[in-house]
Structure 1
Amino acid sequence: MLTQKDIDNLEIKDKRYMISVGEPKELYVRVNPTGKKVFYLRASKFKNFITIGECQKGVLNVTNAREKAKDLLKSMYDGKFIGKNDKVMTLEKANFLYVDIKSKKLNSATIKKEQSIFKKYIIPTLGQKDI
């Protein structure tokens, strides 16, 4: 678990890089070649990152970033968080996420059969409904 002193002392490299801050484990800090340090929250198992804010003295430190990250995680788990790209979750979008997650575990024939049924019977009537 990194402290504010650890974050202030992070080495500036030629390329930007990310390092886990810890507590919560989804909290990261990105160090840019310019020296700018930005806190991010990794959203679920996908590689989507939500910007928390730039690390600035007196404005946003690691303690504030942790609090914001925990609040965001709570709202995600409660289903109240709405990201920039997904203002409304439809059944069709949920199905797309389902396929993305399950495609690694299920046989391709099973997925093809499920998607055929979904496209034929569910999308025409319920696909664009908000969930």
Structure 2
Amino acid sequence: MANLSKANLLDKDIRKLPIQNKRYIKAVGNPKELYIFVYPSGNKTFMLKFNEKYTKINAFRENLYSVAEARRDAIKILKELESGKDINTIMGKDEKYLYKNLFNTYIKQKLKNGISQSYIA
């Protein structure tokens, strides 16, 4: 029961959210980490808050992507995070271009070309 929220928005509630001059955040609820960002352009995007950072799940689109689907996806992501997976892996972000992976690739290339271990250290 730790992941329950007092807020529990439905599709009709999200449709009624007013557009303002600045982006604002509203808790969707169940799980408590699920939020919706409402932008001045009128876009409404579901976000998952994990480790004080927000990760985009998908945009709210009437009859295409609903609150129920966002909840299902959020719960699936949270279960994978609890099992020890990395958020970038779960969200399908290309880890090839993370700094640590680029660095490791660079070092492997240098080792192939005959650079000494003492130089790398």
Band the TM-score falls in, shorter-chain normalisation: 0.5 to 0.7
Say which SS state the counterpart of residue 19 (structure 1) adopts.
strand
Matched AA of 2:77: L
Of the candidates 33, 45, 48, which is equivalent to residue 41 of structure 1? Answer: 48
1:2 aligns with 2:9: yes
1:27 aligns with 2:67: no
* Post-superposition CA distance 1:19-45 (Å, at most 9, x none): 1000000000000001100000001xx
Q: Which runs of 5+ in 2 are unaligned?
A: 1-7, 101-121
Say which SS state the counterpart of residue 18 (structure 1) adopts.
strand
1:51 aligns with 2:56: yes
**C-alpha deviation, 1:59, in angstroms:** 1.9
Of the candidates 69, 73, 79, which is equivalent to residue 74 of structure 2? Answer: 69
Matched AA of 1:11: P
Calculate percent identity across the aligned residue pairs: 39
**C-alpha deviation, 1:85, in angstroms:** 8.3
Of the candidates 2, 16, 21, which is equivalent to residue 23 of structure 2? Answer: 16
Contact 1:72-1:81 within 8 A present in 2 as well:
no
- In structure 2, distance between residues paired with 1:34 and 1:51: 17
Say which SS state the counterpart of residue 64 (structure 1) adopts.
helix
Say which SS state the counterpart of residue 6 (structure 1) adopts.
helix
Query: Which residue in 2 is equivalent to 1:94?
Result: none
Q: Following TM superposition, where does structure 1 have runs of at least 4 consecutive aligned residues deviating by more than 3 angstroms?
A: 84-88
Matched AA of 1:74: K
- In structure 2, distance between residues paired with 1:21 and 1:35: 17
Q: Which runs of 5+ in 1 are unaligned?
A: 91-131
Normalization by structure 1: what TM-score? 0.61
- In structure 2, distance between residues paired with 1:9 and 1:39: 15
